[in-house]
Structure 1
Amino acid sequence: MIDLRQLREHPDLVKASQRARGADESRVDDLLAADAARREAVKRADDLRAEQKTASQAVKKATPEERPAVLERAQALAAQVKQAEEALRTADAALRAAHLRIANVVHDGVPPGGEDDAVTLRTVGEVPAYDFPVRDHVEIGELLGAIDIERGAKVSGARFYFLTGPGALLEFALVQLAITRAVAAGFTPVVAPALVRPEAMEGTGFLGEHDEEVYRVERDDLYLVGTSEVALAGMHKDEVLDLAGGPRRYAGWSSCFRREAGSYGKDTRGIIRVHWFDKVEMFSFCRPEEAAAEHLRLLAWEEEFLQALELPYRVVDIAAGDLGTSAARKYDIEAWFPTQNTYRELTSTSDCTTFQARRLNIRYKDEAGRNQVAATLNGTLCAIARTIACLLEVHQRADGSVHVPVALRPWLGGHELLTPGMSLAAPAPVA
């Protein structure tokens, strides 16, 4: 949630952010009114408690003649205090509800507009040319025995799949490469839970307007995460972190689940838009003044990973109207998909400033020893299903084989090619 001090001092800035997002500007006025009402309720309750304390002391000092009237006054004040405290609880609830309806304040320089208004910052790598009819990742995956869509649908329904043989090995190789590189960059590896409590979902901004995307296990009041960002953020809920040595970074692996509500008819073929996939997610806690630089570091690590996979890509600055609730700025990296003749998102990284940490009560101590709200950032290092789809398409060859990027070979038995009917054992050394 946003900083109420910022709201009180710069309401026009918050309103401008709402306009840039295409969100309801009147919610800012609602929050201002709720904040004022809550502060008034606090003052009234405090004033009445002070009067009640004075009246209680007066009862002790009253003469027998004065005592009945003084006692009556004290009892009346006790009833008023009870009413004022109930009014304060109501005002607290109203303030929280209004607070949760306001998205994070977007950074200066974020492009205005919606999904089609993202700005390309740079394009890296050459788009490959093919002298044969290109196959999509489903056809290549079936030739290799790597992807089984039909049986995935038979077992679980639409937008599910099996990764088999070389497809399964590709998943394990990508995870190993991602985690190895993350650890080398100073991240702590984490295997994160895929089921979380409601407060973790709300704290990271994935409930409210976005809850139609989320799977809920109603019997246990738990949610299936759409990203391990949720669990990694919630891991330090109600804690004070030591950030004196710099950002605290985690690389979390988990399965991710998305209902894909509203995507009817989009990407129905293959494993680009699915209900379940595995992902390696970077997450960082840092001081607010370090967040902008940390955001660029996360982006750089994502770029280095795609370069290691030998994939052409472009970096885009996402427009305000396409930002998630918690993000003040987001960069996407879109890789080239030959059969679609376009770039599609493979990774993203978001600066959430203090928005999530304020909801989750995650703090750090400043130089004076005072508790301050931390900043949080996240970045996808590898969304595995979509990355496999891209790898198969970009690195395909005319005979149905697929080039294996050099960086992945140590975890694929040293194989330079994936070929139909291949043995999955490591190739014999060359004499």
Structure 2
Amino acid sequence: MHLLKSEVKSTSCSSSYEKMEGFFEPPKKQLVRRILQRPRLSLRKILSNMEAFKVSLAWRNLQFDLKRLEDLHLELRQIISQMKSYSIDKNKNTRILADFKKNEQYQRCTELRGQLLEIKDKMRIYKDQYKRKQEELLLLMEQLPNLIHPSVKETVNQIMFTFGEKPTFDYEPRDHTNLCSLLNLVDFQQASKVSGNGFYYLKNEAALLEVALISYAFNFAVSRGFTPLMTPDIIRSEFVTACGFQPKASNTQIYKLSLKSEDLCLAGTAEVPLAGLLHYQELSRKSFPIKLVGFGRAYRAEAGAGASSRGLFRVHQFSKVELFCVTEDDLEKSDALLHEICLFQRDFLTSLGLHAQALDMAARDLGHPAYRKIDIEAWLPGSNRFGEVSSASNCTDYQSRRLNICYRDENQRKRFVHTLNGTACAIPRVLIAILETLQQKDGSVVVPPVLRPFMMNKDVLHPRKRGKL
């Protein structure tokens, strides 16, 4: 999982070229209580890695006009050159005008004033053109996805490793929906009346299991150097966008709140508020790596179909413990940190007695921010398949440039950090894996030993008669 730093050409964000042309600022608009500063997108980085971006777009099956981006870059350079030329003429004529006034050559003053007005009018036209093209260029740059790690394939998810003992049964194992009914753990019917399809009540030992998994995941993360946080579930849309999600897209999975005075969303993952915690900060290089673990509710409007979406597997609201890490602008270091997150996930799921596999996801399955994504799929005996329970992504500087999270390197040059995220525990899916893996012939389920201290030392969940609850 390691790579050479030379795979992608990176640039300092303090070069004179970038100060003039590499960072583009949109025109000021009246937005609803906008918090974020302008994105610090580097045109130089894009132009110097143009072939790599072409591959990224093609492999992700995204439509993007790179030629228009290059044309805008040249047009802006021409406008800047012409404006500099007019500025030189204006300054020269201003000095001459001062001499004419001094020598009382009023007729020539009148002629020169007319020329100066013409120059100023032309400069105003070019300035307006510059703003329009600058805005178009910024919008194009914002739509570009990240580059792709050299080990990632275009369409094939590669199995990296498997772990945990695969369970065997001398009977036909039940799936989690059957077990939940037998153990009286979940109520979908009443939840659908209260909230709609895709919602649920966790009941009895299932409620205790959720609290146990959250507590255990936090303890597990803190023991490995992560700082614990409880995150807000309502966030500004601009932070969602800056993290690479699309709250305004027609097919968005994000719930938006209908408020006139605020542009707010329900968080789809604690990754967004964790990243937002560090926005517009210059971090100390000595503090790296920064490792945060946060809890939040995840709200997703995605709709599922088929057996793989039954029961708790694909729902609109669930609890999740999320990992978020920050390190230097160094591909080797961020790749090593991604490896550390994957080892965390492996050890966490192994400690619960689960069998799983890690997949290096294909480019077609990468979101815009991801340079590389590793999915963990747990074996679900009752469904006779693997199902995704967690993922980990290296977003390099995609999010930090949009959130203005930077630091100074050994030469005191500003650089943008690399951000990474990973699932510590997505409660419903881990709950599914536990129920199906640790079930017994009579329908009871063994509680993983590591969770028992958080469940009043309960060791087995037994079938129970259905009562009012």
Aligned partner of 2:70 in structure 1 is 32
How far apart are residue 393 of structure 1 and its match?
A: 1.1
C-alpha displacement of 1:201:
1.3
Equivalent position amino acid for 1:407 in 2: V
Residues 1:383 and 2:426 aligned together: yes
Superimposed CA distance per residue, residues 287-331 of structure 1 (whole angstroms, 9 cap, x where no aligned partner): 121211111011111111101111000011100111111101110
Question: Is residue 359 of structure 1 aligned with residue 402 of structure 2?
Answer: yes
Give unpaired runs (5+ residues) of structure 1.
423-431
Give the 3 Å change call, closer, same or farther, for CA 154–68 of structure 1 in structure 2: same
Counterparts in 2 of 1:298 and 1:93: CA distance versus 1, 3 Å: same
Question: Any stretches of 5+ residues in structure 2 without a counterpart?
Answer: 1-38
Identity of aligned residues (%): 32
Please give the alpha-carbon distance, in whole angstroms, between the structure 1 residues aligned to 2:372 and 2:337.
Answer: 12
Change in 2 beyond 3 A, CA 1:316/1:58: same
- The one-letter code sitting in structure 2 at the alignment partner of 1:31 is L
Q: Residue 326 of structure 2 aligns to which amino acid in structure 1? A: F
Of 278, 289, 302, the match for 1:236 = 278
Provide the C-alpha distance between the structure 2 equivalents of 1:240 and 1:210, rounded to a whole number of angstroms: 35
Which residue of 2 is the match for residue 214 of structure 1?
254
Distance 1:175 1:412 in 2: 12
Once the two structures are superposed, the pairs formed by residues 78-89 of structure 1 within 5 Å of their partners are 78-89=120-131
Q: For residue 302 of structure 2, give the secondary structure of its aligned residue in structure 1.
A: coil
Pairwise CA distance, 1:203:
0.8
Structure 1 residues 72 and 191, CA gap change in structure 2 (3 angstroms): same
> What's the TM-score, normalizing by structure 2?
0.84
Counterpart of 1:145, as a letter, is N
Partner of 1:276: 317
Identify which range, 392-401 or 204-213, moves more after superposition: 204-213
Partner of 2:239: 200
Letter in 1 for 2:280: D
CA distance in 2, matches of 1:57, 1:191: 63
Aligned AA (1:188): T
The 1:41–1:213 alpha-carbon spacing in structure 2 relative to 1, beyond 3 Å, is farther
Q: What is the number of residues matched between the two proteins?
A: 417
Match of 2:326 in 1: 285
User: 1 CA distance for matches of 2:226 and 2:410?
Assistant: 24
> Deviation string for 1:99-150 (max 9, x for gaps)?
122211101110121xxx2011111122211223322212222332321111
Aligned-partner SS, 1:129: coil
Residues 395, 420 of structure 2: 8 Å contact kept: yes
Would the alpha carbon gap of residues 40 and 253 (structure 1) be closer, same or farther in structure 2, given more than 3 Å must change?
farther
**Which amino acid in 2 is paired with 1:353?**
T
Cα shift at 1:218: 3.4
Q: Whole-Å Cα distance in 1 between the matches of residues 144 and 201 of structure 2?
A: 40
Indicate yes or no: 2:99 matched with 1:61: yes
Partner of residue 359, structure 2: 316
Partner SS, residue 378 of structure 1: strand
User: 2:159 pairs with 113, 116, 120, which one?
Assistant: 120
- Give the superposition deviation at 1:349: 0.3
- In the other structure, the counterpart of 1:134 is 173
Distance in 1 separating the partners of 2:191 and 2:114: 75
Amino acid at match of 1:273: R
Instruction: Give 2:319's aligned amino acid.
Output: D
More divergent stretch after superposition (340-349 vs 4-13): 4-13
Task: Please give the TM-score of this superposition, normalised by the length of structure 1.
Answer: 0.91
Residue identity in the other structure for 1:309? L
Amino acid of the residue matched to residue 307 of structure 1? T
Asked if the contact 1:354–1:376 (Cα under 8 Å) also holds between the matched residues in 2, the reply is yes
Q: Which residue of 1 aligns with 2:224?
A: 185
Tell me the amino acid that sits aligned with residue 108 of structure 1: P
Take 2:121 and 2:141, find their aligned partners in 1: how far apart are those partners? 30
Matching of residues 87-126 of structure 1 within 5 Å: 87-113=129-155, 117-126=156-165
Query: Residue type matched to 2:312 in 1?
Result: I
The corresponding residue for 1:167 is 206
Shifted more, 344-353 versus 61-70: the winner is 61-70
- The 3 A distance-change label for structure 1 pair 134 and 327 is same
- CA RMSD, Structure 1 to Structure 2 (Å): 2.0
